[in-house]
Amino acid sequence: MDFRISLEEHFGKEEADALFDEIEHGKLTHALILNPKKISDEDFRARYPEARPHPFVPHAYLYDKEVYDFGKKILYDAGAISIQDAAAMMPIYFLNPTKEDTLLDICAAPGGKSIEASIMMEDEGTIVSNDISYPRAKALSQNVERMGRGNIVVASTDFVFSSVYFAGRFDKVLVDAPCSGSMMYRKSEEAKSNFTPAKLRGNAHRQIELLKLGYQMLKPGGTLAYSTCSFSKEENEDVISLFLASVPEAELIDLPDDPTFFRPSALKQAVYLLPNRFYGEGQFVCCLRKPGILTPDRYQAPESEGASSRYRGFLEHYGLIGRSNEIFRKKFYSIYRKFDVSHLNILRYGVKLFEMRDSQIYLPDHHLAAFLDSSYSIPISKEEAMAYIRGDTFLLDKMDGFYIVSYAGLNLGFVKVTAGTAKNHYPRGLRREWDGE
């Protein structure tokens, strides 16, 4: 089936014509969400007055990349902003996670939705951010580190084999399902040329299985959001209908209405965020509820003995007492609330604090510097910050030891001072030439 014909059959000719014209001739959209721990909305708006608030998502902004290329600014390097499509922010907005929730993002890479959820949850509660692809999970973990988030467990687990251990465990579940990606077609001609009905059918089979897994792990009374970046009914309404046929007790949630939303006739509780109506590249969202009464998790207070007590001085110095601080594979992690990861293949358990050698602190981690606010840092000049981002050393009149350095109120990372010289510990993969903006 031709892509345009499929749009006309799905949305009707008038809507399809407007949509296709936007895909073919519209300008790419750009958006970001602020990390309120690092920059306030007031400060951001004062510095970038042409950025426009997102119509729904708090702390999120729309912008013109020709005016502000945020991916090249220090705000990005320092984890003060997360760049994400404006429509792709909406599934988490509809899911509305809170500080009390335990949330599963089952197909999370590259991590934008998990980071958005973490911001909405104010770095409390627990998020299990998973991707079955280990390389994609590594990229996800790097984004979590850059943003300095402290309530995310990053995992690369096939829940086909481990979902039974997490049955009824999560208050909220996001299934942002792998799909044909047709909403990305104006970014990729190659993706458009690969459109085939056979691929849609294959995707739909996997999407239904992911929905079933996510629903199994949802608590009674919990909410599941299903989303794709596909225009195709086969991957959206049809998937939900087939899922409901096998799990009839699941309840559809009627999402809020807005003139910028498109309501599919076959599933009026769901919405399409079409780029001819809604600023963004597009998204389909449908929310489901599992019948029952939602019971909040009992908070398990962190242990005061064992590993945490041995490193109490370090934890006190960085304000980490009261969090769950644990050792995994000779690495020390800190998370807001303890979570059993015995059936997860984890890459990150909250904030990585340091690596160990012979039971001693060997090297403080960049994630810790990204997590903390600048009150734990030494301010440095623009020239020193430019040298730091490049990976160079510079002079620093401090006693020998590790220090966090910051510029303009943003932590950059660790240095190790030896005889008045600050040796750079900025991760090599992040180093670049920076023009000071």
Q: Catalytic amino acids?
A: 229
Closest by alpha carbon to 370, among 427, 437, 435? 427
Return the SS3 of 192.
helix
Q: Helix 197-216 and helix 237-246: axis angle, to 10°? A: 50
Other Cβ atoms closer than 10 A to 250: 17
Taking a C-beta distance cutoff of 8 angstroms, is the pair 325, 148 a contact?
Answer: no
Q: Which helix (H) or strand (E) holds 95?
A: helix 90-95
Q: Which amino acid is at 150?
A: G
Cα separation, 6 vs 233, in Å, equals: 9
Cα separation, 267 vs 238, in Å, equals: 9
- Report CA Rg, the chain: 23
Cα separation, 135 vs 429, in Å, equals: 15
Cα separation, 350 vs 323, in Å, equals: 10
Cα separation, 262 vs 275, in Å, equals: 10
Taking a C-beta distance cutoff of 8 angstroms, is the pair 384, 394 a contact?
Answer: yes
Cα separation, 59 vs 38, in Å, equals: 12
Peptide bond into 110 cis (omega under 30): yes
Structure-block tokens of residue 345: 């293949």
Q: State the Cα angle at 434 between 46 and 422, rounded to 5°.
A: 110
